[in-house]
Amino acid sequence: MAVQSLKERIIETALDLFRHKGYHGVSVDEIVETAGTSKGGFYHKFKSKDALLYEIHDVFISQVLKETKKAYDQNETPIDKVCSMLYSFTNVFDVYQRHITVFYDESAYLPPEYKNVIKEKRTEYRQMIEQVIEDGKKSGHFRPEISTTITTMAIIGLVNWTYKWYRQNGSLTMEQITLHFNDLILRGIMTDQGSQEAKHKKYLI
Partner DNA sequence: CAATCGGTACCGACTAGTCGGTTTGTACAT
Partner DNA sequence: ATGTACAAACCGACTAGTCGGTACCGATTG
Which residues make up the interface to DNA (CB under 7 A)? Answer: 6, 24, 26-30, 32, 36-41, 43-45, 48-50
| Binding partner of 65, given its own copies, DNA, none, CB within 5-8 angstroms per partner class | none
80 to 76, 84, 147: CA distances (angstroms): 7, 6, 20
If one counts every other C-beta atom within 10 angstroms of the C-beta of residue 181, the result is 19
Residue 27 or 62 having the CB closest to DNA? 27
Assess 164 for contact with its own copies (CB under 8 A). Answer: yes
Instruction: Name every residue whose Cβ is closer than 8 Å to that of residue 15 and which is 6 or more positions away in sequence.
Output: 56, 98, 99, 102
- Euclidean distance between CA atoms 94 and 98, whole angstroms: 9
Q: Which phi-psi region, left, alpha or beta, contains residue 97 (left: φ > 0; alpha: ψ -120 to 50)? A: alpha
Assess 69 for contact with its own copies (CB under 8 A). Answer: no
* Shortest distance (Å) from residue 41 CB to DNA: 3
| Binding partner of 199, given its own copies, DNA, none, CB within 5-8 angstroms per partner class | none
User: Are 17 and 33 spatial neighbours (Cβ–Cβ below 8 Å)?
Assistant: no
Among residues 40, 145, 168, 200, the one that binds its own copies under rule CB under 8 A: 145
| Binding partner of 164, given DNA, its own copies, none, CB within 5-8 angstroms per partner class | its own copies
Mapped onto helix, strand or coil, the DSSP state of residue 80 is: helix
- Euclidean distance between CA atoms 91 and 143, whole angstroms: 28
* Shortest distance (Å) from residue 55 CB to DNA: 13
Among residues 51, 65, 128, 158, the one that binds its own copies under rule CB under 8 A: 158
Q: Of 1-9, 75-83, 88-96, 138-146, which segment contacts its own copies by CB under 8 A?
A: 138-146
User: Are 148 and 127 spatial neighbours (Cβ–Cβ below 8 Å)?
Assistant: no
Mask: binding to its own copies, 7-46, rule CB under 8 A, as x and -? -------------xxxxxx---------------------
Closest Cα to residue 96, out of 71, 64, 128, 66? Answer: 64
Could you list the residues that contact its own copies (CB under 8 A)? 20-25, 104-106, 108-109, 143, 145-147, 149-151, 153-154, 156-162, 164-165, 172, 176-177, 180-181, 183-185, 187-189, 205
